[in-house]
């Protein structure tokens, strides 16, 4: 990394256009309050309203907190952070499963003006060392164990290695040497009763333009980057999505996607808790349990990846009765096969809504409620209010409708940049302020877009670009295919050939390459686009948001 480019600061933030930013405030797409302001106002107005219902695997009953109870814990945790020396601008990292501790600690961190660094539960030593060293996190909070992994032991190693990490806390277990008990320091002491606390917190209260989150990308390219959001950019995504769906504070939301990913953070924490919604958490994904929870808690909607809705459909078909309240499954992260849209309507009696966005900009496009199945499965939606997009060629000139190009976006949801990488931020924005997503897309006649792949996911066979997403969509309809990805593998003569990596519907009866090619031929696709190799696998590598990590597939099958 070289010096800081002009127009960017050393934290990696792009210096925005003040006139554009003022316009966003005036039109209401940016708030004049913070995420924590909104939560506290809601808690004061509706203290007895249910805020969080947290289901934990192995426990018969969930933990339920009202808004008043959660607000009390937020103040208690905020005081605990102050006692640790956490102040505005410091970073608090948390690697926690979905549960009540996550929103309480997040809001407490924001309450003292500090920055939240959510860490997805799958990260291990290599990723955590890199991230915690980059952010200079002062405090780390982890579970004792989760999914069979000893997080407490790793935390003990990290706190001894990283000079900036002053304290590590363990939730729900005995802390090893070098770490401390979360319950003893944060939960058990009623610091919120201190009469001086309100005044201390008032002096530390953040402003809307203050940094609130460093969210590291989970990596479809293999390179994690710390995405910077302030209170305004996070707020904008949540409001726009609720407006598109027409859901309100009275519509409970279910969240099984990790809160440490932007999907869970926006739609399972900051968005709903700012307006008084009941949020229902599941710590470990289990479709049968999820169906029962959704039904019992009268959940209205959820946001998650395609594999989750496929599992829910299968689970619901094995039980009697219907889901009385479930209205929307907002689905992203992977293509939606056409039959899944109709299956969701039949089995779940819910509408599937396609969505596209990134850690860098939350929700950018979403299909309109009421769209027919053929649109939901073939479109990634129309732009959200206030968000703008364009599809351009390599010279940043807009291309005609139906022509594939590079997708660029701008608007109030857009992240400020990449943490302490002003060079990466500068490389991601055009001179006139458009963010280059790294995705390829084309505009539809109805104003929507269709993502056709990552620019790095292109398969170029003998100079011919293979329309990967279209080929995948066709192969998804094959009865022997449960999941798949098409990737490029090296070829001495053609440069690359297409390889179909398939998870079969039945492990005992996987498709053959001949069967897949026959399906593409019957669909009328050009022979040059057909996969020339088939690999059958048990599962596809995915990010926590459900996006397939194609770079891992390319690496795995490159040498075979």
CA distance linking residue 96 with residue 116, whole number of Å: 13
Confidence of residue 545 (pLDDT cuts 50, 70, 90): low
Position 455 pLDDT exceeds 90:
no
Task: Check pLDDT > 70 for residue 2.
Answer: no
* Among candidate residues 497, 500, 359, 374, the one with its CA nearest the CA of residue 439: 359
Q: Rounded to whole angstroms, how far apart are CA atoms 317 and 322?
A: 10
Q: Could you count the other beta carbons within 10 Å of the beta carbon of residue 298? A: 14
Tokens (6 digits) for 331: 């689905």
Among the listed residues 192, 343, 408, 366, the one whose alpha carbon sits nearest the alpha carbon of residue 266: 366
In the chain, which residues fall in CATH 3.30.300.30?
Answer: 456-557
- Residue bearing the bigger pLDDT, 33 or 494: 33
Start-to-end C-alpha separation, the chain: 35
| pLDDT reported for residue 223 | 58
Instruction: Quote the tokens at residue 329.
Output: 């499954």
Query: CB neighbours of 559 closer than 8 A, spacing ≥ 6?
Result: none
The helix or strand, by DSSP H or E, that contains position 555, with its residue range, turns out to be: helix 550-557
456 falls in which pLDDT band (50, 70, 90)? Answer: low
Q: Output DSSP code: residue 511.
A: P
CA angle 68, 304, 483 (to 5 degrees): 160
> pTM to 2 decimals?
0.85
Mind listing the pLDDT tens digit for each residue in 389-407?
Answer: 999 998 999 999 999 999 9
Q: How far is 39 from 43, CA to CA, in rounded Å?
A: 6
Q: What is the tens place of the pLDDT at every residue in 401-438?
A: 999 999 999 999 999 999 999 999 999 999 889 999 98
Rounded to an integer, what distance in angstroms lies between the CA atom of residue 112 and that of residue 280? 26
* Residue 220 pLDDT > 50: no
pLDDT digits (tens, 9 = 90+) for 172-212: 999 999 999 999 999 998 888 889 999 999 999 999 999 99
CATH class of the domain comprising 34-46+66-230: alpha beta
* CATH 3.40.50.980 domain locations along the chain: 34-46+66-230
> How confident is the model over 327-351, as a mean pLDDT?
89
Q: What confidence score (pLDDT) does residue 238 get? A: 84
Superfamily of domain 456-557: ANL, C-terminal domain (3.30.300.30)
Helices (H) then strands (E): counts for the chain: 19, 26
d(CA 254, CA 514): 42
Phi then psi for 347, rounded to 5 degrees? -85, -45
Q: Report the percentage of the chain scoring pLDDT > 90.
A: 75
| DSSP one-letter string for 147-193 | TTB-HHHHHHHHHHH-TT--EEEEESSPPPTT-EEHIIIIISS-GGG
Stated length of the chain? 560
* Residue closest to 390 by CA, chosen among 381, 375, 400, 379: 400
- Which tokens belong to 160? 């001894």
Query: Per-residue pLDDT tens for 131-168?
Result: 999 999 999 999 999 999 999 999 999 999 999 999 99
**What CA–CA distances, in Å, run from 146 to 25, 143, 167, 305?**
42, 7, 20, 21
Q: What are phi and psi of 311, to 5 degrees?
A: -65, -40
- Mean pLDDT value across residues 367-386: 93
528 pLDDT exceeds 50? yes
**Helix/strand/coil (H, E, C) string of 368-405?**
CCCCCHHHHCCCCCEECCCCEEEEECCCCCECCCCCCE
The overall average pLDDT reported for the chain is 92
**CA pair distance 367, 349, nearest whole angstrom:** 18
Return the structure tokens found at 184: 């003893």
The predicted pLDDT at position 523 comes to 85
Chain segment 229-277, per-residue pLDDT in tens: 999 999 998 888 888 999 999 999 999 999 999 999 999 999 999 999 9
- Alpha-carbon distance of 334 to 380, in angstroms, equals 10
- Collapsing DSSP to helix, strand or coil, 263 comes out as helix
The pLDDT, as a whole number, for residue 271 is 96
SS3 letters for 318-386? CCCCCCCCCCEEEEECCCCCHHHHHHHHHHHCCEEEEEECCCCCCCCEECCCCCCHHHHCCCCCEECCC
**Whether pLDDT at 109 is above 70:** yes
Distance between CA 472 and CA 457 in Å, rounded? 13
Q: What's the pLDDT at 300?
A: 98
The pLDDT value given to residue 414: 96
- Is the C-alpha dihedral spanning 144, 150, 155, 157 positive or negative? positive
Distance in angstroms (rounded) separating the CA atoms of residues 464 and 80: 60
The pLDDT score that the predictor gives to residue 548 is: 87
Q: What is the DSSP letter of 527?
A: G
Angle at 269 between CA 376 and CA 139, to 5 degrees: 130
């Amino acid at each position: 990394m070289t010096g800081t480019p002009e127009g960017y600061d050393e934290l990696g933030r792009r210096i925005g256009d003040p006139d554009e930013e003022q316009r966003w405030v005036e039109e209401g797409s940016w708030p004049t309050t913070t995420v924590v302001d909104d939560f506290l106002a809601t808690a004061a107005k509706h203290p007895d309203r249910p805020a969080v219902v947290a289901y934990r695997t192995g426990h018969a009953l969930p933990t339920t907190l009202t808004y008043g109870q959660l607000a009390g814990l937020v103040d208690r945790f905020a005081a605990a952070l102050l006692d640790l020396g956490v102040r505005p601008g410091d970073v608090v990292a948390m690697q926690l499963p979905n549960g009540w501790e996550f929103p309480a600690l997040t809001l407490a961190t924001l309450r003292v003006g500090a920055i939240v660094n959510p860490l997805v539960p799958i990260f291990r030593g290599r990723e955590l060392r890199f991230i915690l060293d980059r952010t200079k996190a002062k405090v780390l909070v982890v579970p004792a164990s989760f999914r069979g992994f000893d997080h407490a032991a790793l935390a003990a190693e990290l706190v001894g290695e990283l000079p900036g990490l002053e304290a590590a806390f363990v939730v729900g277990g005995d802390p090893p040497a070098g770490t401390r008990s979360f319950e003893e320091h944060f939960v058990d002491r009623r610091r919120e009763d201190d009469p001086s606390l309100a005044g201390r917190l008032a002096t530390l209260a953040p402003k809307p333009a203050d940094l609130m989150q460093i969210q590291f990308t989970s990596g479809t390219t293999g390179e994690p980057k710390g995405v910077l959001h302030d209170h305004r950019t996070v707020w904008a995504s949540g409001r726009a999505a609720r407006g598109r769906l027409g859901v309100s504070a009275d519509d409970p939301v279910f969240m099984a996607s990790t809160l440490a990913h932007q999907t869970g953070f926006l739609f399972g924490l900051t968005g709903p808790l700012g307006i008084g919604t009941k949020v229902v958490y599941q710590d470990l994904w289990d479709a049968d349990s999820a169906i029962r929870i959704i039904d019992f808690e009268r959940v209205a909607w959820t946001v998650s990846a395609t594999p989750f809705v496929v599992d829910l459909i299968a689970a619901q078909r094995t039980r009697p009765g219907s889901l009385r309240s479930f209205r929307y499954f907002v689905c992203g992260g992977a293509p939606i096969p056409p039959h899944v849209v109709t299956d969701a309507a039949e089995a779940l009696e819910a509408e599937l809504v396609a969505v596209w966005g990134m850690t860098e900009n939350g929700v950018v496009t979403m299909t309109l409620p009421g769209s027919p199945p053929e649109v939901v499965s073939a479109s990634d939606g129309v732009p959200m209010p206030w968000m703008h997009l364009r599809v351009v060629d390599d010279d940043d000139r807009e291309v005609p409708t139906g022509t594939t190009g590079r997708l660029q976006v701008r608007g109030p949801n857009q992240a400020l940049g990449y943490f302490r990488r002003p060079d990466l931020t500068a490389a991601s924005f055009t001179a006139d302020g458009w963010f280059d997503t790294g995705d390829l897309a084309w505009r539809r006649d109805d104003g929507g877009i269709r993502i056709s792949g990552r620019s790095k996911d292109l398969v170029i066979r003998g100079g011919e670009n293979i329309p990967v997403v279209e080929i995948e969509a066709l192969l998804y309809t094959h009865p022997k295919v449960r999941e798949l990805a098409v990737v490029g593998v090296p070829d001495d003569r053609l440069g690359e050939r297409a390889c179909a990596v398939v998870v079969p519907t039945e492990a005992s009866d996987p498709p053959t390459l001949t069967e897949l090619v026959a399906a593409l031929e019957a669909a009328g696709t050009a022979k040059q686009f057909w996969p020339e190799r088939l690999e059958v696998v048990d599962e596809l590598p995915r990010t926590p948001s459900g996006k397939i990590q194609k770079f891992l597939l390319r690496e795995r099958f490159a040498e075979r």
